Chains A and B, each alone.
Chain A
Amino acid sequence: MDSSKLLGITTFIYLFSSMIYMIMFIFRVKKIGMLATVATIIGFLTQTAGIGMRWLESYQMGIGHAPLSNMYESLVFFSWSIVILYLFIEYIYKNKVIGAFAVPFAFASMAYASLSPEFSSAITPLVPALQSNWLIAHVFTCFIGYAAFAVACGTGIMYLVKSLDKGKSPGSLLATLPSLTAIDDITHKIILFGFIWLSGGIISGAVWANSAWGTYWSWDPKETWSLITWFIYASALHARFTRGWGGKRIAWIAIIGFLAVCFTYYGVNFLLSGLHSYGG
């Protein structure tokens, strides 16, 4: 069993568990919730093994490095981060419906990594610029943050969907979702969590840049966009702390913020040129 097989299987498991979570939500079959959780955990373990194998394989090839060095590997890690974060949230809140809004992001990321022809899944050696211990710290912090914002986007969407439920009929589909206050609270907490990791990601990037080039900040497009994303979430936090923003407005910011994350992560590499041209 090699890493690419394991990661291929992971993609299908995440597809499967996304579907179960959705079926559970849409058709209100609570009973299959456990199946979705178990599938997600199995998917997560498979993926962890896949990432570990890939790490090992790179050493066997004599070009050993953490599997965090290109777009393919970062998408896999993004997906991994979303799932571990989601499983944690499910455990804390004892609510499986969030899975229908979070796990699909993990599946989409895996599917995009494996299906898109523009990313090669081959293990390639590290270019000199990436040969640093900061690689792991930087990518890890950034992607935990990105994953949190993906999940916050999911709960933001969930909030907006739930708020369509004007009639508050107890038997309706949307009644199975947590209360609006609860979703709002979850979204807010995940944003707080993500904001710390994003800050950590920007800072670790700055420290790394300083040790590689002698400049901790150079207004490179990737840096600038991460700062823009930081501003968006900082605005959301200030609006909430001082003016009591919540509900739909925070839900929308969670969605807009995640679009900025996507652009920082993905758009910058393809639309703007800069120091991060090696991807990730």
Chain B
Amino acid sequence: MKKKKNSFWEFFSSVKLALFCFFTLAIASIAGTIIPQKESPGFYIGKYGESTAEMFRLLNIPDMYNSWWFLSILSLFSMNLIVCSIDRLPTVWKLVTMDNLATKVNRLEKMTPRIRFGTKQPKQEVVAQVEQTLKGAGWKSSQGEREGGTLLFAQKTPWVRFGVYVVHLSILVIFAGAIIGTLYGSKGSIMLREKNVAPYFFEFGSSEKAMLGFEVRCDNFKLTYYDTGAPKEFRSDLTVIDGGQEVLKKSIVVNDPLQYKGYTFYQSSYQAYEEYWVTVQNQNNGAKKTFLARPGVELKWQEAGINLGIVNLLQPDRWGRYRLKIWFSDGKGEPSVFWLDGETLVSVERSDAAYAFNSKQVYATGLQIAKDPGVWPVYIGCTMMLLGLVIAFFLSHKRLWVYIYEEENKTRILVAGSSNKNKVGFENMFNTLVEKLEDNETLQLGKE
């Protein structure tokens, strides 16, 4: 990697740049939470004055998070992640795959923790015993002859050194998902009145119509309340019509959307109208008709010879309960005038038939519509991030060397270890292992 180490490369691989990005992104984000975003130009003039508003406009402050400069910092941050990972990976790769049996004995002499023992036992016996003890403690060792002695080496989880790069990569994967979403995704909303059909929706930001390629119909919208008067549920019964066929029906609520052909329909708001669906049924012959009724407008059911209308109205209270006063005539005798209590069924006796009435307020459901093919990359990135963080923070690459050599008619044992993280924890583990060696009666170790 040496040849690449020019100043450009160094700049992009530096931690300084990472810290600079964190800092500027944080400061800019703070500004974005204080200055309201995506308001009308008039709003900024009214709130901050003409000249400040103009400056805001030039710097894209009203849509800061999508501004050229904010995206530039994010690009710089991505470059930083890529270059620093490319810069450091070869070294880490070497650390993970290196032949640790080639470690020089004088390097072991400088490691902490390390400890030296001596024993009268023959070297061959000592090597076998140490290997056994290590194995018993979960350290499978390999061995080689070095500088006249035998070197045993064992390690645990060398791959955890890649953990931090998994985290770095996860951020890039999330960014990639976000870019895919921006390029190929589409988001918007529509206010869809009951019984109406929408082949399109209005995209956010452009208010242009985006065609769905199929149609969605709102069959019914229902708003329910808790006893306290707080809204309990917004529910829309939706039908998807594709190629003239009803292909999917689903009742959606907030947190439970409908999905079809890459589009997801979310319950987001509603609108109530001062209009009512009034259903009349002749209970003798079963004939039934639903009218869209506005107060003060007379309705006709030609075939049945019926006229009716809403002559008075009590507005909905905080539980959505309303009352309609209905005027009804079937042409036989005096017309009936009576109250309909919200959605409850009311039966009215006429001279030659009984009629059942009920009503429902007319609503439009506010749907949020999204198609975002970048969501899966984002989720994969998030999973990678959590896994990577756990690996990078809580697992360590532990290495253990035991060098056994003969000197002055004695067999000497040098135990040394190193861990890339959590030195305190590693030292405890090292000491436990050393105790096991000391407890081995065949070895008869004496501290030196």
Contact indicator per residue, chain A 203-217, by CB within 8 Å of chain B (1) or not (0): 100110011111111
Whether, in the assembled complex, B424 has its beta carbon less than 8 Å from a beta carbon of chain A, the answer is yes
Which candidate, B130-138, B190-198, B231-239, B306-314, is the interface stretch facing chain A? B231-239
Partner of B37, one of A124, A219, A225: A219
Determine the chain B residues whose CB is within 8 A of the CB of A239 once the complex forms.
Answer: 15, 19
Contact A125 B226 (CB under 8 A): yes
Q: Is A70 an interface residue (CB 8 A)?
A: no
> Which residues of the partner chain A approach B30 to less than 8 Å between Cβ atoms?
224, 228
* B245 at interface by CB-CB < 8 Å: no
Residue of B nearest to A134 (CB): B255
Do A128 and B255 have beta carbons less than 8 Å apart?
yes
B206 surroundings in chain A (CB, below 8 A): none
Residues of A within 8 A of B92 (CB): none
> Distance (Å) between the CB of A97 and the closest chain B CB?
18
Total A-B pairs, Cβ < 8 A: 108
Q: Chain A binding site: helix, strand, loop or mixed by DSSP?
A: helix
Closest partner residue, chain A, to B224 (CB atom)? A128
Given the known inter-chain contacts A125-B228, A192-B394, A212-B254, please indicate yes or no for A231 contacting B187, CB distance below 8 A.
Answer: no
Whether B15 contacts A232 by the Cβ 8 Å rule is no
Contact of B34 with A by CB under 8 A: yes
B424 touches A185 (CB 8 A): yes
On whether the beta carbons of B230 and A231 are closer than 8 Å, the reply is: no
Cβ of B369 within 8 Å of any chain A Cβ, yes or no, is yes
Binds A, one of B116-124, B333-341, B375-383, B410-418: B375-383
Q: Fill in one digit per residue for B357-387: 1 if any A CB lies within 8 Å of its CB, else 0.
A: 0000000000011101001001100100110
Sampled A-B contacts (27; CB under 8 Å): A124-B228, A127-B231, A128-B255, A129-B255, A131-B255, A185-B424, A192-B394, A195-B393, A212-B266, A213-B268, A213-B368, A214-B264, A216-B375, A219-B32, A224-B29, A224-B32, A224-B33, A227-B26, A228-B26, A231-B29, A232-B22, A235-B19, A238-B15, A238-B18, A238-B22, A239-B15, A272-B33
Residues of B whose CB lies within 8 Å of any CB of A are 15, 18-19, 22-23, 25-26, 29-30, 32-34, 37, 65, 164, 178, 187, 226, 228, 230-234, 253-255, 257, 264, 266-268, 368-370, 372, 375, 378-379, 382, 385-386, 389-390, 393-394, 424
10 A-B pairs with the lowest CB-CB distances in the bound complex, closest first: A214-B370, A132-B255, A128-B254, A221-B33, A192-B393, A231-B22, A231-B26, A203-B382, A125-B226, A242-B15
Q: Which residues of A contact B (CB under 8 A)?
A: 63, 124-125, 127-129, 131-132, 134, 185, 192-193, 195-196, 199-200, 203, 206-207, 210-217, 219, 221, 224-225, 227-228, 231-232, 234-235, 238-239, 241-243, 268, 272
